[in-house]
Structure 1
Amino acid sequence: MHPYFNLQGRTALVTGGTRGIGRMIAQGFLEAGARVFICARDAQACTEVAAELSAYGECIGLAADLSSEEGAKALAEHLAQRTGQLDILVNNAGTTWGAPLESYPVKGWEKVMQLNVTSVFSCIQQLLPLLKKAGSAQNPARVINIGSVAGISAFGEQAYAYGPSKAALHQLSRILAKELVSDHINVNVIAPGRFPSKMTKHIAQDEAAMAADTAHIPMKRWGREEEMAALAISLASAAGAYMTGAIIPIDGGFTL
């Protein structure tokens, strides 16, 4: 691997790292030489996926429920017991909720906002000491928040809380990027379009739905796992050392 993209000797945490985009990024980081912690609510899934990903490098699973501030604090405490610093934090854990406007429940709105916005803030807040220890002027620590093109476009698909939650995450990231730059911590956003995940599984398994979906994408296809991993590696490596506050769509041209 070219030294510009080498993550050897660096430690990363990927929330929601057992499947979908989180797993894609975790595997990419491992292949680039990083030690990677993955977390999710399902302890068994963490153990199993960490074992599978260990084929690519050192991967450790940590069970964590990020639906509350207490969960973020517990994750930070567990991680501090395993490592003295955190070079890369990927906030990928998230959720969605779809329902007609007339019956969209407040509990759905609150759940999406909590996990997609509040828990990201809590994770950054609680992990800040480890990130500060890792960052330097030459090689800043990296926070990579997983936003969405839904936070940029108005293509809502009756998931009324999802787009606003991602737009809020984008703006939070910009605010934190400006504030944390003096601590040598870069904060950037990857805003994916369609990639294989639990959220999009119902589309991928329906040929007609897949055709209708890709019709909205100028490249006429979904993103590939290696494309997501490559972008995350770029932001986490020397290639991203001079980038902060950026919101990067990776969507086959969808936002055009």
Structure 2
Amino acid sequence: MRGLAGRGALVSGGTSGIGLATARRLAEEGCRVYITGHDADGLASALTELSGLGEVTGQVCDVSDHDAAQRMVEDADTACGGLSILANNAGISWREPFVDIGIDSWDRIIAVDLRGMFSVGQAMARLLIRAGRGGSIVNMASTNALGGEEDYAHYNAAKGGVLQLTKSMAVELGKHGIRVNALCPGYIDTPLNQSIAANLPEGFVQKYADEQIPLRRVGTPEDVAAAYAFLASDDAAFISGAVLTVDGGQVAVM
């Protein structure tokens, strides 16, 4: 894609699943990539996997720690020789009925999935404005932001907040040449979803895809990584404030 080669790219939550696929895709496009993850073993494994693709470095960071997240962005800028791309990807989720959600559970989801998005995004915006260069920020939302999936009230609320945060960022940062967009993946074949599917009846996932997804398959991390790369590239130079669903057409089903 146009305009990616030679750029510095930060991928938060870049050690597995969609984040790892995105780091790989951006590295393959010629970006200097910096990834973060929440544990040292996962980070080391990801860096080893990506080691043959060019300049890829990273650090352990809990994005729910506002000060740590802001320092991490500065570290990434230094390591990459200047950032211009943020794949704001770090997030967590788990199933929990609304009436059973404890306040600690609620706070943790919001802290990582919404406040973490704010902390990293704000640091990136400040950096780009200070440097006097434009850039692209792509926030990870979810189709859960577009409808209330059962037993995910905390996650649904956080991702809904990400969409409004994205629009606010796009409005305020456009004058600085900073584009801000959001991705809403549907069912993606990530390690987390694979672990859930292992406890479901054989054939359940394909049956779900056949009945709920017009393209009759679940998504791959690479599908989402391609969308990240597109929105970060010059091919999307006039796209900002947009919400791109990557779901095989699922949200179009009535």
Output the TM-score relative to the length of structure 1. Answer: 0.90
1:40 maps to amino acid: G
The residue that corresponds to 2:50 in the other structure is 53
**Closer, same or farther: CA 226–81 of 1 in aligned 2, 3 Å:** closer
Partner secondary structure for residue 200 of structure 1: helix
**Closer, same or farther: CA 10–40 of 1 in aligned 2, 3 Å:** same
Deviation at 1:83, TM superposition (A): 4.1
The residue that corresponds to 1:185 in the other structure is 178
Of 194-203 and 228-237, more deviation after overlay is shown by 194-203
Question: Does the alignment pair 1:174 with 2:167?
Answer: yes
**Closer, same or farther: CA 199–42 of 1 in aligned 2, 3 Å:** same
Question: Does the alignment pair 1:71 with 2:68?
Answer: yes
Mapping 1:135-214, distance limit 5 Å: 136=133, 140-154=134-148, 156-205=149-198, 206=200, 207-214=202-209
Question: Does the alignment pair 1:250 with 2:246?
Answer: yes
Of 191-200 and 241-250, more deviation after overlay is shown by 191-200
Distance 1:46 1:237 in 2: 26
Distance 2:17 2:80 in 1: 25
Deviation at 1:200, TM superposition (A): 1.1
C-alpha deviations, 1:111-167, integer Å up to 9, x for none?
A: 11111111111112223233235664xxx300000110010123x130111111111
Deviation at 1:16, TM superposition (A): 0.4
Partner secondary structure for residue 137 of structure 2: strand
Q: Which runs of 5+ in 1 are unaligned?
A: none
The residue that corresponds to 2:233 in the other structure is 237
C-alpha deviations, 1:158-178, integer Å up to 9, x for none?
A: 011111111110011001100
**Closer, same or farther: CA 238–171 of 1 in aligned 2, 3 Å:** same
Partner secondary structure for residue 87 of structure 1: strand
Q: Is the 8 A contact 1:196 1:204 kept in 2?
A: no
Distance 2:13 2:33 in 1: 13
Distance 2:7 2:74 in 1: 19
Q: Which runs of 5+ in 2 are unaligned?
A: none
Partner secondary structure for residue 251 of structure 2: coil
Output the TM-score relative to the length of structure 2. Answer: 0.91
How high is the sequence identity, in percent, across the aligned residues? 33
Deviation at 1:80, TM superposition (A): 4.2
Distance 1:171 1:151 in 2: 10
Structure 2 residue corresponding to 1:42, chosen from 26, 31, 39: 39
Q: In proportion to residue count, which structure has more helix?
A: 2
Deviation at 1:96, TM superposition (A): 1.2
Distance 1:162 1:229 in 2: 21
Of 78-87 and 56-65, more deviation after overlay is shown by 78-87
2:156 maps to amino acid: G
Distance 2:153 2:71 in 1: 30
Q: Is the 8 A contact 1:14 1:26 kept in 2?
A: yes
1:233 maps to amino acid: A
Question: Does the alignment pair 1:111 with 2:104?
Answer: no
